Amino acid sequence: MSKQQTIGTVIAAHGRHYLATATIHGELHRLQCVTRGKKTNVAVGDLVKLTMTSADQAVIDAIEERKTLLYRSDQYKSKLLAANVTQLFIVVATEPSFSDDLVSRALVAAEAAGIEVRLILNKTDVEGALPRARERLQVYAKLGYPVHEVSAKTRPEETVAILQPLLAGHHSILIGQSGMGKSSLINLIVPDADIATREISEALDTGKHTTTFTRLYTIPGLGDDTAIIDSPGFQEFGLYHLTEGMLERAFRDFQPYLGGCKFYNCRHLSEPQCAVLDAVASGGIAKMRHELYGQLLHESSQTLY
Ligand SMILES: Nc1nc2c(ncn2[C@@H]2O[C@H](COP(=O)(O)OP(=O)(O)OP(=O)(O)O)[C@@H](O)[C@H]2O)c(=O)[nH]1
Ligand SMILES: [Zn+2]
């Protein structure tokens, strides 16, 4: 008898071990999956072709074509964050203070992957730090990235009411530095998240590392076309994989000026009559953004793979 084949959605990844959900004979099953050989190119959110090897185990035969792929990378290799997401939420807070470098890198990664971005400012109840946080977020709001103000702790219902309509119909990923309140937000949106995480952790045998893996949740009441992906907190967001051409296009604020430089292959670093540098000088492009662009250009030239 030939083994049963099915299509699943990857909901968690830990090393070469994956967990997928699949509907078999009308019932939702959770399957422990491995790849063939040493492949680790599967991402949370991927749709995969599976061959069942037992009632709750399967082998991943193939990855279906992806709508989007979000990843980060260092000098040596790239690391897949999530597949098929349509929306990225960057969670920041009034305190502790957030990193503009990380926010901007996440924005660039999302632009390069064709993913919409929204910023969430959490902990608006910390009033002393609110004006400064709002002021800092103006840079991003001016670029057209929506900023949504919430307080997971002191105004939970209002927070859910703000976020639910934004999530509906999307596959969203939440990222944020440690301490911004990302877990608090996930727990509001997915009330069973802690239980689900524990179950996933056991199934993947991750030991105590319950927060070091990326996982996908469905959201109660929002149907199958809606999902939310929680990724572990990060301190670094390398973008070594982006080419020069991708980089200049991923900076939204550069777009009006591209093509206006004297040299067609201008890198916008120190060339004469560069429209981008002129815009930085006149304030049309924030200096911070151009500095990051320079840094990312440097990183992309350091790639060893
Ligand atoms: N004042 C205030 N504190 C909050 C709010 N939301 C979360 N916190 C607190 O901020 C701290 C960090 O919250 P978490 O939800 O654990 O943050 P996280 O971003 O998931 O952090 P990691 O688990 O380290 O990745 C906790 O002590 C929360 O109670 C808020 O809206 N207002
Ligand atoms: Zn230029």
Cα atoms in the Cβ-side hemisphere of radius 13 Å centred on 191: 5
**Do residues 76 and 179 both lie within one domain?**
yes
Section 217-230 average pLDDT: 89
33 is in an annotated binding site: no
Ligand 1 atom having least distance to the Cα of 176: 19
Residues 78 and 218 in one domain: yes
pLDDT tens for 130-168 read 999 999 999 999 999 999 999 999 999 999 999 999 999
Q: Is residue 57 part of a domain?
A: yes
Report cis status (omega within 30 of 0) of the bond before 96: yes
- Closest among 41, 110, 38 to 80, alpha carbons compared: 41
**182, 258: one domain:** no
Nearest CA to ligand 1 atom 32: 123
Residue 109 and residue 22 share a domain: no
- Identify whether residues 85 and 146 lie together within a single domain: yes
Note the pLDDT of residue 164: 95
Pocket of ligand 1, beta carbon within 6 A: 122-123, 125-126, 151-154, 176, 178-184, 233
Instruction: Work out the average pLDDT over 226-236.
Output: 86
In this structure, is residue 236 part of a structural domain? no
**Tokens representing 118?**
């929204």
Q: Are residues 87 and 216 in the same domain?
A: yes
Residues 122 and 192 reside in one and the same domain = yes
Verify that 218 and 275 share a domain, yes or no. no
**CA 211, CA 193: separation in Å to the nearest integer?**
12
CA of 126 from ligand 2 middle (Å) equals: 42
- Total tally of structural domains belonging to the chain: 3
Q: Indicate yes or no: pTM above 0.95.
A: no
Give the pLDDT confidence of 45-93 residue by residue, as tens digits.
Answer: 999 999 999 999 999 999 999 999 998 888 888 889 999 999 999 999 9
* 215 and 114 within one domain: yes
What is the predicted pLDDT for the residue at 211? Answer: 58
In a domain, 238, yes or no: no
**Residue with tokens 């301190």, as numbered in its chain:** 235
Residues 110, 205, single domain; the answer is yes
Q: How confident is the model at residue 2 (pLDDT cuts 50, 70, 90)?
A: low
Point out the ligand 1 atom lying closest to the alpha carbon of residue 151.
Answer: 31
